[in-house]
Structure 1
Amino acid sequence: MELIRGIHNILPQHQGCVLTIGNFDGVHLGHQAVLAKVQQLAQSLKLPSCVMVFEPQPLELFAGNAAPARLSRFREKYQALAAVGIDRMLCVNFNRSFAAQDPQQFIKTLLLDKLGVRHLIVGDDFHFGKNRSGNYALLAQAAAQYGFGLNSTSSLKLGEQRVSSTLIREALQQDQLDRAAAMLGRPFTLSGRVRHGRKLGRDLGFPTANVWLYRRKLPVSGVYAITAHTCYGVFNGVANIGNRPTVQGSREQLEAHLFDFNQDLYGSQIRVALRHKLRAEQRFASLDALQQQIAADVAAAQQYFSEAASTQAPTT
């Protein structure tokens, strides 16, 4: 998938596409339904499929630290969009100048002059431009005036429940991992590069892969039974996600202990799928108490995977 990073990097050869616009946080089943429509239409028109996303996400600009936790970092979003077969991803720098532009300018300058959009697919509640004054009705007028196609999408539902990033975050906060996975179409995952740490886990008899998460805030925290996708294959394990209060950690990170694994992961990417929450993160009075709890967490995670295997629950 081609990445266009910034409006200034849109080139003449990028003229002509079928486009959708949004945060696509998590690239959940609702997003995937929209993306399938984009791809289907792009193939019929023999044009590239394109997704426009924003960095930072709009609420992160306007609300700062009060913005909701992301389900996916930029890299994870890119990988998810590439995995479903999107041809092109345009990442727009969302700043106050961009947010304050006239909606007509957004349509004429970016959608038409820069991208040459032939067909646009957005939700019927899509808003854009200064004070979010641009809406679907305005896009419909522009489509009639300039001759590009326009379709709206409705939210996907699972049963009576609408699929949304907000509801997925709520499910994760309520430790309803199965509910979140049902809306995502896969288990919730965190990913990053394995870095050198203090080697405390190794000293306690449970070596860990340490991943800095580089997020303003996390949608999850605690200790989980996990499945880790590594360069050596897929391994079950247990992970602590948070700031490690017992050892006075200052950075939110993921520490994963993988079962039956003794390879070197330093510098490599790891993707960790959360399977079951074992407990909340907590502070222990001593390293001995922490060591005993880690042993209990490992036993609990192993029991979870054993029971899951007996009922043929997927572990990859």
Structure 2
Amino acid sequence: MPDIHIPESLHGACISIGNFDGVHQGHVSMLQQLIQLARQLCVPAAAVTFDPHPIAVLRPEFTPPLLTTPEERRRLLLQAGVSAVFVLPVSASLLQLTPKQFFSQVIQAGFQAGGVVEGPNFHFGHDRAGNVDTLQQLCQDAGIACHIAAPADDGSEMISSSRIRSLLCRRAVTEAVKLLGHPYRISGFVHRGAQRGRTIGFPTANLAEIHTLLPAHGVYAGTANIQGHIFPAAVSVGPNPTFGEQREKIEVHLDGFSGDLYGTRLNVDLLAEIRPLQAFSSASELVARITADVAEVRKLAATAGH
């Protein structure tokens, strides 16, 4: 068995295994069914996920850009109501296990699972050879409760992490947020930029070291929590075409905030798209547009409960 230490507190738990990237509405729907089964069996409900993403080990060039950092994913999973989050360390030995070996070594011997809840597209084992039919048969043979959750959709198609990534890449943050069921968070360290925004009355925090998918170039509405205070955030993703810039950057104007954030991590929760990036003929035209953007951001932040 791969070197995985599963705490005794999770022995007998009901588990759901998956990447849970984004922890979207489809995930939450399945986790609610996991929690319900766990309550019936009087055991903990645990979300079991992976780090790194299995594709990052198998075929790094095809690794999808992540919607959530491991820390953010854990926070959202616990917020969804599970008792615990367990991260399986991904290794070549883990990924070489056949479906039967994965079941017997991880689910049965490792977790001593009392129940398993998965979605209809669940695959496991080497080459993803195991599916929900395999899982149901193995659980039945082992006397473990097994439930396959119906796929969650928004009335048109199934909710999935790949669909949300596609929406973000098309600047459709509003629609992505609906499928997520929560704002889309970007998190980075504040570093010193050209400070051009300060000279026109709209100082910005420039973010670096962002490890999740950025939406397409554009201006977005969001909020930021700084020491317990929520500030409306106007977020620009991409170079500033008015000044002929080519360098990729993320600038955040925090409405009503004054202070020094350099060197700190800033979490920004995106709510909606405002407009694409555009070049303006003068600084005064740019200021007028930013003024309108910030007014729109305030309105959207207030509507979102902030």
What's the TM-score bracket when you normalise by the shorter of the two chains? 0.7 to 0.9
Please give the per-residue CA displacement for 1:128-162, whole angstroms capped at 9, x wherever unaligned: 11111112222222212211110101211222322
Check conservation: 2:190, 2:205, Cα contact below 8 A: yes
Match of 1:195 in 2: 190
Q: Distance in 2 between matches of 1:203 and 1:313?
A: 27
Match runs of 1:131-210 below 5 Å: 131-192=127-188, 194-198=189-193, 200-201=195-196, 203-205=198-200, 206-210=202-206
For structure 2, the residue ranges without an aligned partner over 5 or more in a row are: none
1:277 aligns with 2:269: no
Match of 1:304 in 2: 296
- 1:29 deviation in Å? 0.9
Change (3 A) 1:214 1:93: farther
Change (3 A) 1:95 1:296: farther
Q: Distance in 2 between matches of 1:179 and 1:240?
A: 18
SS at match of 2:31: helix
Match of 2:27 in 1: 31
Change (3 A) 1:274 1:137: same
SS at match of 2:114: strand
TM-score, length of structure 1 as denominator length:
0.83
TM-score, length of structure 2 as denominator length:
0.85
- 1:278 deviation in Å? 2.1
1:254 aligns with 2:256: no
Match runs of 1:1-316 below 5 Å: 8-192=4-188, 194-198=189-193, 200-201=195-196, 203-205=198-200, 206-215=202-211, 217-242=213-238, 249=247, 254-266=250-262, 267-280=264-277, 295-305=287-297, 308=300, 313-314=303-304, 316=306
Q: Distance in 2 between matches of 1:93 and 1:253?
A: 32
Q: Distance in 1 between matches of 2:249 and 2:95?
A: 32
Letter in 2 for 1:273: L
Q: Distance in 2 between matches of 1:306 and 1:38?
A: 38
Change (3 A) 1:278 1:215: same
Change (3 A) 1:158 1:108: same
Check conservation: 1:230, 1:271, Cα contact below 8 A: no
Check conservation: 1:155, 1:162, Cα contact below 8 A: yes
SS at match of 1:157: coil
- 1:116 deviation in Å? 0.8
- 1:256 deviation in Å? 0.7
SS at match of 1:31: helix
Check conservation: 1:175, 1:277, Cα contact below 8 A: no
What root-mean-square deviation, in Å, do the aligned CA atoms of Structure 1 and Structure 2 show? 2.9
Report % sequence identity.
28
Report how many aligned residue pairs link the two structures: 301
Q: Distance in 2 between matches of 1:64 and 1:182?
A: 30
Letter in 1 for 2:140: A
For structure 1, the residue ranges without an aligned partner over 5 or more in a row are: 1-5
Q: Distance in 1 between matches of 2:184 and 2:64?
A: 16
SS at match of 1:101: coil
Check conservation: 1:190, 1:272, Cα contact below 8 A: yes
